Amino acid sequence: MDVRVLGVPMDLGADRRGVDMGPSAIRYAGLADQLEAIGTSCTDGGDISVPRPEERDPDAAGFDGGRAKFHRETREVCTDVRDAVSRAVDSGETPLVLGGDHSIAIGSVAGAAASEESLGVVWFDAHGDFNTPATTPSGNIHGMALSAVLGHAAFGGEGWGHVPAVREENVALVGLRDVDDKERELLRESDVAVYTMSDIDARGVPAVTEEALGRATEGTDGLHVSLDLDWLDPTEAPGVGTPVRGGVSYREAHSAMEAVADHRDRLCSLDLVEVNPILDDHNQTAELACELAASAFGKRVL
């Protein structure tokens, strides 16, 4: 497998600053060395250009019926991410997209789907990311990313994030434990498979992950995996944009990524997002991100 690393130093989609330094932190933690140690070719494609929030008005692209901060800038960045991911896939590489906040997945999913008739998605996250501009309590687009991909978050009548190749029945959200009230209603009305931390407690990570992957790969041409590091418990991953207690353990996270590796012949692309070095302890979250990437691409004990 030939992996192309793409950094997206983006924090326009979140309230808390710092995740823009995530790509640098992950690289510094030894990402390339981890991948090359398992025989995976790793080419660094550099960073996508992202505007500085201090130089922009978050509500400049305002519209009726809701709020989405830095809407115009996020759209521009995600378009660039889409094009970069699509080029990598077309050249036979597997894009590894480093965030940055989770809004960048709007672009990475679109890029992975560009050459596929159908794409399954597994979304490892503490949050639903299923708000819309009309339901969001914050206006932060990182909380609308999955909703946008599925065509629910119409930004001022523009469905720019919608990826028709991704159908709800081929999407699984794993590890949910922090959901807004209106977001909960939207998820219940959708055909997305939602596995909460209660499901993981009852059934275990291996069973839940295998079922999620089965849903995402059934009848689809490819697989996109989006891993928000806040999926893990903050004791394991303290340096994340929006930490929530009660997440998965270090070993459970590796078990899930090892299950992803079993499907790597279908894996089109992988996101690692929401690493925030400002909140981290000795870069341990970025180091963990590197380890989980290696597991997803095939690293084993034996």
Q: Which residues of 153-177 are buried (b: 16+ CB within 10 A; e: fewer)?
A: bbbeeeebbbbebbbeebbbbbbbb
102 is in an annotated binding site: yes
pLDDT at residue 131, rounded to an integer: 97
Please confirm, yes or no, whether 178 is among the known catalytic residues: no
C-alpha distances (whole Å) from 269 to each of 82, 157, 272 are 11, 29, 10
Provide the residue ranges of all domains of the chain, joining segments of one domain with +.
2-296
The answer to whether residue 297 scores a pLDDT higher than 80 is yes
Q: pLDDT (tens digit, 9 = 90+) per residue, 156-195?
A: 777 789 999 999 999 999 999 999 999 999 999 999 999 9
Catalytic residue among 11, 20, 116, 228: 228
Contacts of 209 by beta carbon, 8 Å cutoff, 6+ apart: 122, 174, 255, 256, 259, 260
pLDDT at residue 233, rounded to an integer: 98
Please confirm, yes or no, whether 127 is among the known catalytic residues: yes
Please confirm, yes or no, whether 33 is among the known catalytic residues: no
pLDDT at residue 62, rounded to an integer: 67
pLDDT band at residue 199 using 50, 70 and 90 as cut-offs:
very high
pLDDT at residue 296, rounded to an integer: 98
Strand partners, 196: 176
Strand segments (E) across 205-275: 222-228, 267-273
Q: Which candidate, 197, 269, 287, 271, places its Cα nearest to that of 228?
A: 271
Catalytic residue among 11, 183, 230, 236: 230
pLDDT band at residue 98 using 50, 70 and 90 as cut-offs:
very high
pLDDT at residue 1, rounded to an integer: 85
Catalytic residue among 116, 125, 233, 291: 125
The model scores a pTM over 0.95: yes
Q: Mean pLDDT, the chain, as a whole number?
A: 95
Q: pLDDT (tens digit, 9 = 90+) per residue, 50-63?
A: 999 888 988 876 66
pLDDT at residue 54, rounded to an integer: 86
Please confirm, yes or no, whether 230 is among the known catalytic residues: yes
127 is in an annotated binding site: yes
Q: pLDDT (tens digit, 9 = 90+) per residue, 135-154?
A: 999 999 999 999 999 999 88
Please confirm, yes or no, whether 15 is among the known catalytic residues: no
Q: How far is 154 from 132, CA to CA, in rounded Å?
A: 7
pLDDT at residue 64, rounded to an integer: 67
DSSP 8-state class, residue 149: H
Catalytic residue among 71, 142, 152, 254: 142
φ, ψ for residue 117 (rounded to 5)? -75, -30
Catalytic residue among 71, 102, 224, 263: 102
Please confirm, yes or no, whether 162 is among the known catalytic residues: no
Q: How far is 83 from 234, CA to CA, in rounded Å?
A: 33
125 is in an annotated binding site: yes
- Record: fold of 2-296: Arginase; Chain A (3.40.800)
Q: pLDDT (tens digit, 9 = 90+) per residue, 6-36?
A: 999 999 999 889 999 999 999 999 999 999 9
Please confirm, yes or no, whether 129 is among the known catalytic residues: yes
129 is in an annotated binding site: yes
